[in-house]
Each structure stands twice: as C-alpha cells, then as structure tokens.
Homo-oligomer: A and B are copies of this chain.
Amino acid sequence: MMSFFQKDIKAVFSSKKFPALRSPILICGFPGSGFVGKLAIDHVINELEGIKLADIYSTSFPPQVVIKNTGIVELMKNILYYVKNTAGSHDLLFLTGDAQPVSSKVEYLLGEEIIKIAKNLDVKQIITLGAYITGMFVESPRIFGVATDNDGLELLNSYNVLKIDNGSISGMNGILLGIGKINNLKGISLLGETSGYVIDANASKYILKKLLAIIGVSIDMEDLDKKAKETIMLIKSIEQRIGDKNPSNEDVEQMVQKKQPEIGYIS
C-alpha cells in the first residue's frame, strides 16, 4: 500500500490517456457563500453530461467523509469534468468539489496543480463563478466581474458585467485567476449578487445565464429555474416576517434558521 496523502494533493485520473480537447475553457465553481457558484456549475455539468476526468484528493480538504443521498460515504474531493462542445470552437473543462482547502499553503499548491493540468490540456482561458455579498435581498441580482487583463475587462464590459475596483477575492475563485495569470493564462471571475444569508439558487441562475452567453452554449434551465423560484419564495417569506428590506443580521439569521431546518451534526 503506497502513501496517498504524503504529497498533500493526489489527482486520480479516470483514464491513462488525456482526452484531446480543443483549447478548452476552464470553468470553476465551489461551495461558498450562498452556494452561488456551486449550484450554477452543478447544473451545467449535469445538463451537458460532463465526463469525469479526475478526482482530486487533498489533506487540505476538511478531514471528513461526505454522506451521499444513498447513505454511502466518500472522502471529500474535487472533480474535473470535460465536455466536447462540438457547436463551438472551445471544448469545456469544469472544476468543482465538496470543499475548498482549509490550509492557506495547500490552497496555493492546489491552485498550481489545477493550472498545471489545465495547461497540459491546452486551456487558455479560465472563468470562475462566485458570490458578491451585499447583505440585502434582491430579486434580480446584478453580476459583477474582474479580470486578469484588459482583454478580460473588455469582454466583461461587452456583456454588461459590472466592474469592481477594490477589495479582494479569496478562495479558489481568486487563487486560480492569480496563479493562472503568473502562468500566462487569462481569466475572469463572474460574481453574483447575493444577501449572504441563504442558499441562493436565484443568484446561481443569473450567473449561469451570463456564463452561457459568454461561452455561447445553450442548456435546459428548468431544474435551476425551479430552485431559483424556491429561493425567491424563501426570501419573500423572510421579508414579510422581518418587514424591512435591509434588516439587521440577527433578525435575518433567526428567521433563516426557522426556515432552513438544520441537519443532525455527526462526530
């Protein structure tokens, strides 16, 4: 039995041969505030029937197993999928996972590992999907964006993505752009406006629509539309109880706990 975890990161490829992809776009979404990026990427991977390229394990993921809805457990991991996009000139590569690294150092190393794989697959462009937290409930969330270079800023502008001019982007959404940049990969990040209080499938829907416009791909949106409507209903019911569109944190958190039942904690 060889050690799997001495090296901090272990990518297990589904096949010994890399697929031949045409200058793919790497699209990334992770669990984070409001699950905005995660719900969006899960939907598009599902609709496009992404093929698994690799499981990525790491000692930097929380030391936990995830319980699947079958009752089966698995170590936390990230997963790379690819999709042959015959209608367009770029194939697609998707990166998502159960968690982001807990170790700051290994977050850099994981970013570097992903960029290495991306470069081997001839990726030239990265798009990360995240959340822009405002503390306010909105029905039509705005989409904000940043880029690694001026071409990216122009691209964002041409799709009416709003500009941000200060602050920072933490986690894999940021680190992949930054490490990509020092390795000559261009990237943009699309950030969906969200309150920060609830799982926000509505923000996910808006961000995914923007992504699909940019990459020129159409998919069925029904499942995500349905979840987005549930988010809007949840928000409305919270607002009715609170009676204020810009409530205090404590008020909202109390309401959210009543509306979103917690699961049992296991140790």
Contact = CB atoms under 8 A, between A and B. Distances in A.
Given A169-B67, A175-B63, A264 B134 contact: yes
Contacts of A85: none
The number of times this chain is found in the oligomer is: 4
Contact of A165 (B3, B70, B75, B105): B70
A166 B75 contact: no
Contacts of A75: 175, 178-179, 181-182
Given A67-B146, A178-B74, A267-B32, A1 B183 contact: yes
Given A75-B182, A105-B60, A67 B264 contact: no
A146 to B, nearest CB: 5
A87 interface: no
Contact of A74 (B71, B76, B104, B181): B181
B73 A169 contact: yes
Interface in A94-122: 101-109, 111-112, 115-116, 119
Nearest to A262: B135
A117 B102 CA distance: 28
A265 B133 contact: yes
A138 to B, nearest CB: 13
A90 B104 CA distance: 38
Contact of A105 (B103, B173, B267): B103
Given A59-B104, A133-B265, 17 more contacts: A1-B119, A5-B112, A33-B265, A60-B105, A62-B104, A62-B170, A64-B168, A65-B168, A67-B166, A69-B165, A72-B153, A73-B148, A75-B181, A167-B263, A168-B266, A173-B266, A196-B265
9 contacts: A5-B112, A33-B267, A60-B105, A65-B175, A75-B175, A75-B179, A131-B266, A164-B264, A167-B266
